[in-house]
A and B are shown apart, each in its own frame.
Chain A
Amino acid sequence: MSLRTWLAGSPFWPMLRKEFIQMRRDRLTLALMVGVPAIQLLLFGFAIQTEVRHLPTIVLDEARTSESRALVAALENTDDFRITGYVASRDELRRRIVRGDAQAAVVIPPDFATDLARNRSAAAQVIVDAADPMASSSAMQGAAQAGIARAQAILRARGAPPLPLEVSVRPWFNPTLRSATYIVPGIIGVLLSMTMVIITSIAVVRERERGTLEQLIVTPITRASLMLGKIVPFIIVGYVQITVVLVLGKLVFDVPLRGSLPFLYAVSLPFIVASLGIGLILSTFVATQSQAMQLGFLFLLPNILLSGFMFPRQAMPALAQWLGAALPLTYFLELLRGILLKDAGAADLWRPTVALVAFAVALVTAATLKFHKSLD
């Protein structure tokens, strides 16, 4: 038998055809597969804004001079602070921060202007509510920058020489430090892990629940044909989802698409296949569709937390980093961000690419071995 007649006679083709007919007929699921990426993108994109600007700020200005007002103006110009009011005492300042009316305060002591006039170093203080470190971090940086800027302006006015040393910081790839730029490429990865893992495990478990899997097993279909017929349609769904997120990410969040899109689509394949393999493996552990759903979400949690999607992996303890290194998503995120934000190519990103291909091969092999053609 030649390869061609063997291929044409393979039970893979009727299986594939059947999957497409069922997918086309299940309009709700089809709509969800496209609608969910859009909804997730908007939710994550708008909700995850780690940089907090315009922190409500109160001022205790005990100097009441033009110099003190200039410092307050310099702070407000950083856009990290929004002056919401003035207080008259330290007690009132403390009360308003505790109550949450204000999250930052500027304190300028009475001798601020006189110190300046006498060429002594004048002291001012910015108090930040750091109970939420994420909310306060950019305010702390902003305060230090505003202080330096003010000091330089005063030196210039006095005709003094410039500062002997200046370090300038250039934030590459995301100069305005927007979190959407960082988060949106990650959403592609998280979304694919979620839908690919859950829909494949549900698709297999549904066949088991309805008794059709039993019927399939008694036909001469091979394990490989059964698995491939199940996953190929979902690969197409995966590509549709990637495209939806990329287009919406560009239109709504102006996320840059700097690198090669063909390269991005190419490296997505091993990730999609790896995720489908995980879904198939999960399906062998569960008996019902709702169990499949729960197990799918359980799997999603470490993916969101340990892959570097939201939290930098460098900050994690060694164990968490090791766990993260065992997730395909970690490598896919590296690829997505590298390609989309840094225009990195295959030469820069061969390591995560190789890792993903290895995951895909290993997981699909494991799924095929785990899935016995029996009901034991």
Chain B
Amino acid sequence: MAVAHAPAAGTDAIIETRGLRKAFGSLVAVDDLDLRVPRGEVFGLLGSNGSGKTTTIRMLCGLLEPTAGTARVAGLDVVREPEAVRRRIGYMSQKFGLYDDLTVLENLRFYAGLYGLRGAALEARVAEQLAELGLGERAGQLTGTLSGGWKQRIALACATSHRPALLFLDEPTAGVDPASRQRFWEHIAALAAAGTSVLVTTHYMDEAARCQRLVLLARGRLIADGTPAAILAQFGEPTLEAVFIRLQREAGAA
């Protein structure tokens, strides 16, 4: 199983970084990171707070400029062609990025419009998304009045209105109830099955187990990577949680 997903060298990586580094003053948030994410997978980026997950995602989306190294997303250099990269990716952060003072419909229309949809094409896409969300008559409700679970799914819809090839999810399920998390992951699985590549950061180990491939970060460095099964076999631990805690401790002692 692990072998089937082993990356073939060449062009079918949706994300590829070489020596990626980000320093904020004297603090090195990401250090010499080589990352290769194959197209069409759900790829998990694991690590505790401050391990460099969010900084990595932000560099890949063009939100932060790398201090050193290169990053190619969907075959494009993120520093040289940021706008072209942005048309091909979707991004959802734990803050959701929705306007609380707009209705659900207005938020969906706004983001679809930013991605260049107009007129009938925009209305058709928004109608399709509303049907998927199953919001019904609540489409006209102010977004700020909805629960975290709803906001999360609306944010996902906004981030994917242009059907991006690659979707970045930065701790998408932080502060959301278990039933909503379950539903959210079903949605992600459906997107991946339809061919969307997904890069997700999380510190929930049950969510990590849903990824086809994982990278563990500690203090800005890559400390392990592989499929969940391969990582368990490599470290001889029964659960990802145990691997994570052990690696965390070793990285802290180093």
Spell out A's residues near B (CB within 8 Å). 8-9, 11, 13-15, 17-18, 21-22, 25-26, 210-212, 214-222, 373-376
Q: How large is the interface on B (under 10, 10 to 19, 20 to 34, 35 or more residues)?
A: 20 to 34
Residue in chain B with minimal CB distance to A213: B97
One of B7-15, B111-119, B179-187 at the interface: B111-119
Q: Is B138 an interface residue (CB 8 A)?
A: no
- A22-B99, A212-B95, A216-B97 known, 12 other contacts, Cβ within 8 Å: A9-B118, A14-B113, A17-B110, A18-B106, A18-B110, A26-B101, A214-B95, A215-B93, A215-B158, A221-B114, A374-B62, A374-B64
A22 to B82 CA separation, bound complex (whole angstroms)? 29
Return 14 A-B CB contacts under 8 Å, by A number: A11-B114, A13-B113, A14-B113, A21-B102, A211-B93, A211-B95, A212-B99, A217-B63, A219-B86, A220-B114, A373-B82, A374-B62, A375-B64, A376-B65
Contact of A212 among B61, B97, B118 (CB under 8 A): B97
Please name all residues of chain A whose beta carbon is closer than 8 Å to the beta carbon of B93 when the two chains form the complex: 211, 214-215
Contact of B86 among A14, A17, A214, A218 (CB under 8 A): A218
- Contact between chains at A219 and B102 (CB < 8 Å): no
Contact of A211 among B97, B102, B106 (CB under 8 A): B97
B203 to chain A, nearest CB (A): 19
Please name all residues of chain B whose beta carbon is closer than 8 Å to the beta carbon of A25 when the two chains form the complex: 101
- Contact between chains at B99 and A18 (CB < 8 Å): yes
Q: Is B83 an interface residue (CB 8 A)?
A: yes
Please name all residues of chain A whose beta carbon is closer than 8 Å to the beta carbon of B99 when the two chains form the complex: 18, 22, 210, 212
A374 to B22 CA separation, bound complex (whole angstroms)? 14
A222 to B98 CA separation, bound complex (whole angstroms)? 19
Please name all residues of chain A whose beta carbon is closer than 8 Å to the beta carbon of B110 when the two chains form the complex: 14, 17-18
- Contact between chains at A14 and B109 (CB < 8 Å): yes
A2 to B40 CA separation, bound complex (whole angstroms)? 36
Q: Is B89 an interface residue (CB 8 A)?
A: yes
B200 to chain A, nearest CB (A): 16
Q: Is B87 an interface residue (CB 8 A)?
A: yes
Please name all residues of chain A whose beta carbon is closer than 8 Å to the beta carbon of B97 when the two chains form the complex: 211-212, 214-216
Residue of B65, B82, B86, B114 contacting most chain A CB atoms (<10 Å): B114
| Binary CB contact string for chain B from 22 to 59 against chain A (1 if under 8 A, 0 otherwise) | 00000000000000000000000000000000000010
B207 to chain A, nearest CB (A): 21
